[in-house]
Amino acid sequence: MRRTIKAVLAVLVMAGMVSGVAGAAVLNGAGATFPYPLYMKMNTEYNKATGEKVNYQGIGSGGGIRQFTSGITDFGGSDAAMTDEQIQAAGGDVLHIPTVMGAVAICYNLKDVSLALDSDTLAGIFLGKIKKWNDARIKALNPGENLPDKPILVAHRSDGSGTTSIFSTYLARVSLEWASKVGAGKALSWPTGVGGKGNAGVAGVVKVNEGAIGYVELSYAVTNKLPVAELKNKAGKFIKPSLDSTSAAAAGALKDPKIAAMVANGDFRLNLTNAPGAYSYPIVGMTWLLVHKEKSGSKAGAIKKYLKWALTTGQQYAPKLLYAPLPDDVKAKVLEAVDSIKS
């Protein structure tokens, strides 16, 4: 009988239904795949350091917001900020806690081609107007590159996605045609292409189809050994996604008085796309953990403890996985917001 009970408890611990430490609260979250590799690393290290368990499922930002709103999870994960209406639907007391910043890379599958794109050409490809790799508009941006006479296969997300929100917000900022025909959001009516679930799904489509192009968080491109395009930024320079160009974009965006005022007021729903600065990569976004300002029972303390760890000790794991840590002044304000959580 004792062996049976121990076996059942072991299964429950593995499933995240009970804690491996007596009296410790288990936290369950779900949402964005954009930060999934980092959260897996953080949660493993947090468990080693504290003995406490945090579960996170990468189901996409749309699913993360839905599960958080319905109370299925203790926290949500999203790269798309909740609207005021969504916040009210979730009880009106939602905090957006940014954890890191990341770049949305344009990955592609072409042999021996170093690709450079500007905003008009990128929009034209994803609108389905530019159909072949040797199109004159792509050739003009890539002199000397051996661009093949091959059709372009666009890969996009099939699920509600914060990565899509960041990508489409950028295109809507820089292309009037994109803004009028497609717009910005987590789920779009795509003019062309095939869908993949999660960042991993889009990277998979690109990896197995020569001539494919897609958008993924940078770490997924690197993990899958996919080349990434240089993009022409607001300053007119062609920049590759990297830790430095992600941080440069944040620094440029924070010079905007409106964005600086949002941070000062504790509203971290910041749009970092198409930021000024010579070295800014143009498609950069924050990823947020969504939590309630008030949480019942022991969960409030457990969430505060985890968030403080993620924003301090946990930040050391971000650069190795190609996520940029928060700027110090932003992090200080975020920690103040975390301190405001109460039971």
Contact of 98 with 330, CB cutoff 8 Å: yes
Q: What is the CATH number of the domain that holds 210?
A: 3.40.190.10
Same domain, yes or no, for 335 and 295?
Answer: yes
C-alpha R_g of the chain: 21
Whether residues 231 and 300 fall in one domain: no
Tell me the pLDDT band of 23, cut-offs 50, 70 and 90.
Answer: low
| Separation in Å, CA 119 to CA 188, 238, 331 | 19, 11, 31
Assess whether 306 and 247 both reside in one domain. no
For residues 108 and 65, state if they share a domain: no
Instruction: Give the three-state DSSP class for 68.
Output: helix
* The Cα angle at residue 132 between residues 128 and 134, in degrees rounded to 5: 140
- What is the number of structural domains in the chain? 2
Rounded Cα distance between 147 and 153, Å, is: 14
**pLDDT at 1 (0 to 100):** 41
- CA–CA separation, 21 and 46 (whole Å): 13
Q: Do 39 and 139 sit in the same domain of this protein?
A: no
Residues 120 and 98 in one domain: no
* pLDDT mean across residues, the chain: 92
Rounded-to-integer distance, Cα 184 and Cα 265, Å = 25
Q: Using alpha carbons, list the distances in angstroms from residue 164 to 4, 48, 80.
A: 47, 33, 9
Tokens 């004792």, located at residue: 2
Q: Which residue has the tokens 């010079």?
A: 255
**Within a domain: residue 159?**
yes
Q: For 36-72, how does the pLDDT look when each residue is reduced to its tens digit (9 = 90+)?
A: 999 999 999 999 999 999 999 999 999 999 999 999 9
Asked whether residue 279 is domain-assigned, the answer is no
| 17 pLDDT above the threshold of 70 | no
Statement: residue 13 has pLDDT above 60: no
Q: Which residue has the higher pLDDT, 145 or 297?
A: 145
d(CA 254, CA 260): 5
Is 150 a member of any domain?
A: yes
Kindly state whether residue 268 falls inside one of the protein's structural domains: no
Residue 202 lies in a domain: yes
Partner residues linked to 76 by β-bridges: 30, 290
Q: Is the dihedral of CA 183, 188, 194, 195 positive or negative?
A: positive
Q: Are strands 324-325 and 94-108 parallel, antiparallel or unpaired?
A: antiparallel
**Confidence band, pLDDT 50/70/90 cuts, at residue 16:** very low
